[in-house]
Chains A and B, each alone.
Chain A
Amino acid sequence: MTTRTLEMALATPGLDPSGRPARLPLRPKKGSDDEFGAEHMLVNIGPQHPATHGVLRLVLELEGETVKRCIPHVGYLHSGFEKLGEYRHYNQIIPLTDRTDYLSPMANNVCLALAAEKLMGIEITERCQVLRVIACEMSRIISHLVWLGTTGIDLGAFTPFLWSFYQRERIYNLQEAWTGARLTTSLTRIGGMMADVPEGWEAGLREFCRTFPDTLNEVDTMFTRNSIWCGRTQGVGAMTAAEAINYSLSGPMLRASGVAYDVRKDRPYLGYESYDFDVPVGEYGDIYDRYRVRLEEMYQSNRILEQALDRLARLAGAPVNTADHRVILPPKHRAMSDMEAMIHHFKQVMEGVAAPPGEAYLGIENPKGELGYYFVSDGTAKPVRWRIRPPSFINLACLPKLCEGALLSDVIAINASVDIVMGEIDR
């Protein structure tokens, strides 16, 4: 069998070299067997495909069912979030972050608020910190639940998908009770939160924390020692620790390869150093380890949530927002009755909160890896440059390496194990 690399331009079909739309011929030119040669076959996985988790497009060069080359094409969901951010006040950017990693919107909100507060040098209250920890860990659980379910489907097991989505639905209900929205939460504000949790909400979350591990245990029973599952995942898409670091992976992808890097432990924010939780680390760096790491992270998030709820009960009645009403809106009744509060309200709505000139980067441990927001400020209320470090995008970069030499079925499994979300990749 000869191995040769095909030289071809993988332009978007339907465009001629000068970029004008062109009609593709329905059949290959007469005389040539097929424009790709007889030995290799070019298969398009996506952008509309049941297993690409959004609008990712993979161009696979197959020899039989073995992948010779894998080229990911991104950009189908490009929305220009970073550019849009340059025309918005810092608080107005928060709704944009809902829509980047739309599987964990609350954690994105928290990250943006933290980055802006770092830029402006604002201290937040202790209750706010606890609330933000709860938001982050709830996001981690729902994001991992989606991952668990969709990976199950990609490997052919449909049932755990609905079990995990049932639990996710319960968190969404809590999210809705807190923020009024299920997906576009816009939970945080610079210097505080959009709102405190409603009355009785903690009891709901506590009930969730108590019953939710049952589902994880069930999935654990279904998958962890299932010999088909092990056969499909063990040794597939393996990544050594050095490779993982060189590819700049983060989050569960990195930890599955045996590197115990977790932003919550290594560069703590929101007081994570005071919570008692473990960071699961894999050994082989394959899909199976990523599955084990993510499963364990959900248990650990549950532990953090329980501790945070205890603290929340202790901090009952404490203020959520910082007392400085130059950065956070005063309560509505005060804005209507108090001159100074009204001025603050007016200034913030019309002009926004000005940040001092300079730059700030803050990374947090998002479900998919290290999410970082970078701001450059020229002293006005709008950032000059807003840059996202999207964990999905950087994790996705190792996909061609993992897929080469694998089988077509493995590509689906590997792609699922990377845990991407296109809103964040294309931004």
Chain B
Amino acid sequence: MTTTETATKPVRMQAATKTAGAKRSWRSTLVALLILAVMLFPVYWMISTALQPHSSIAATQLLPTSPSLENFRAAFDTQGGSLLTSLVVSLGAVAVCLALAAPAAYGLAQFGLRGSRGIVFGTLITQMVPGIVVANALYSAYAELGLVNSYAGLILADASLGLPFAIVLLRAFMVSIPSEVIEAAMVDGANRFTAFVRIVLPMSRNALITSGLFAFLFAWADFIFALTLNTTDDVKPVTLGIYQFIGAHVSDWGAVMATAVLSAIPAAILLVVAQKYIAAGISGGSIK
């Protein structure tokens, strides 16, 4: 009896600590889900309000008991054009941003040009320039150049939100490309530019995707340039649309929230599809 007890005791103890550990880790999961619920409550509230028709007349329910897409129809009717504008402007900004950043990052990483360090330093410093200060000066220049109320003007301005980040991130990646790889291609007769297009760009695919994603998110979220560089409704992204919406239709909160949901969709999609790029971008862009 005693022998069996001493023999089984350690085994039993081990099993006990194991279940205790598992229990504790599940308790952590529970705490994490609670944190998530608190942090994401505003997002839930936005979706819930958007799904409740007549939410302005009746009090908003905690749960949308009879959900309807009525508010979304209203949102599409009034803000559909703005969503399209946002999409066009953001894609344009991504194109400008990558077209400028990729060659520059390559040059700064690989050529050993004198002044490279200074340029990288200057790029970092641009982060401290407030958008409203840029807008303040840009407006008069845009007025002279006829760029106020134009797609080109807003695309160019929005590209500035993602460009410093893209240069820093791409350069950090391209520094790690061994120069032998590029030189080998050049021995085969490619010049610097074709080597860049055929070798460097494909190798930098992940860094390009990450900086493109962020350029898109920054441009999509832009409000200051949309507000200041447009005096008419010709070019009205959804951020500006929703801002004017709360000024004019503050009684129709259901439609406002439906617009908010629609304008948050790109962020949600990217979070699901490109989560690893986003995590890489946040840490990569800030530490460098």
Task: Tell whether A pairs with B.
Answer: no
Interface residues of B (CB under 8 A from A): none
Interface residues of A (CB under 8 A from B): none
